[in-house]
Amino acid sequence: MLTRLLQQKILMHVFFFTLFLIIPTLAFVRKPGEPLFPLSHVFLQDTVANCVLLGFFYLNYYILIPRYFLHRKYFLYLCWVILFLGIALTLPHLIGRSFMDQVPDGPFERGGPDGDFPHHGPGQAPSLFHSVILEFRRHVSLFFSAVFFSFLLKTREHVSLLKEEKLETELTSLKSQINPHFLFNTLNTIYALSVKKDDRASEAIINLAGLMRYVIKDANDYKIHLQLEIDYINNYIELQKARLGNTTAVGFACVGEPGNKKITPLILITFIENAFKYGVNPDVEKCIIEIGLHITDTGIRLDTLNKKVPSIAHENSTGIGMKNTTERLKHLYPGKHNLQIVDGEETYSVTLILDLT
């Protein structure tokens, strides 16, 4: 079953294909009462020329640009363009002339009420040379218009594809970036709890298993059920709470029902990781982190707040993680997200509202 995006793309191509062929017919000058499709060699010539140009547009868009130009085979690409320019200039003329005897021209042709070919003066015969020059110029301009627009569309598509690949690479990188330091400390925490025969050790193992399963299995799709993302966030926070113990006051609340809502995987976790990264320091008292998820009828709201503390992470920070996530939001949720970051003197807070409809 065709997706809505593919259906829209096909309908758009059919619309412009039809428009490209109909406009010359509607613009063709004819006598009162003359049929919409006059049988003349000039009309046939124009129709063939438009079909050739349209064919070249799609050939250039789907084959020549991807196969030759984008692979820097400029000479071969130029040869193909010159070849089809020659075809566009000669084929319509040859076909039109071959039917000249069978399809006679009427007194009304393209260009005006006196015919296609302009006169030099009253009573003078039309200039054949001048008409050929005009026809040549018209076909060349249309040909390079086809080249330009096919380049424009293909370049836009290529840039969009590069952005998709960049986002996919970032997602893959994000999935592999379960902070080794965090993982090492979590395993140490689980070990310490197991030595003490603390019941929280089994819970920590379950949370860690859920976190790993999500990254390895669930986060591979373009969009996933919101509940899976919430479970991942909950597992991450519970592991952090087990690791930090009483050194940090961590508050987490999730309000609302996810229902059938879907979300891009790992789009929220960066802001939560950021709160733990820059809001925790065992040597500082009163470390505070507050995280809230509020699910609405149309989407979700994430609020994070952490008390700013002196941290080695601040000194080594590059800001790349936040920057990449911001770019992902702009690309994946254009016009459907609102991100507010407040960097105060004592606290750092983030509010993200996502429209998931």
- What's the pLDDT tens digit per position in 84-123? 888 877 877 777 666 655 544 444 444 444 444 444 444 4
78-83 contacts: CB < 8 A, separation 24 or more? 81/147
State residue 36's pLDDT score. 47
Query: What integer pLDDT is reported at residue 135 of this predicted model?
Result: 64
354: β partners: 300, 337
Hey, what are 20's tokens? Answer: 């490209």
CATH no. of 177-355: 3.30.565.10
Res 199: pLDDT: 77
**pLDDT confidence of residue 166:** 66
pLDDT, tens digit, for every residue of 270-296?
Answer: 899 889 888 887 777 678 999 999 999
Which DSSP string corresponds to 135-166? HHHHHHHHHHHHHHHHHHHHHHHHHHHHHHHH
pTM (global) more than 0.85? no
- Report which residue type is found at 94: L
Local structure of 298: helix, strand or coil: coil
Among residues 118, 114, 136, 135, the alpha carbon closest in space to that of 126 is found at 118
| pLDDT of res. 125 | 43
CA angle 52, 55, 60 (to 5 degrees): 120
Helix pair angle (74-98, 41-59), 10° resolution? 160
Query: Can you tell me the distance from the alpha carbon of 65 to that of 94, in angstroms, rounded to the nearest whole number?
Result: 28
> Which residues, at least 6 apart from 281, have a Cβ–Cβ distance to it below 8 Å?
287, 309, 310, 311
So what's the pLDDT on residue 92? 74
The SS3 of residue 180 is helix
Residue tagged 């995006």 (tokens): 5
- For the chain, which residues make up each domain, given as ranges? 14-168, 177-355
* Helix 200-216 vs helix 226-244: crossing angle, to nearest 10: 140
| Residue the block writes with tokens 């499709």 | 37
Q: How far apart are CA 239 and CA 206, in angstroms?
A: 10
* Regions of the chain short of the pLDDT cut 50: 1-2, 29-30, 34, 36, 103-126, 176
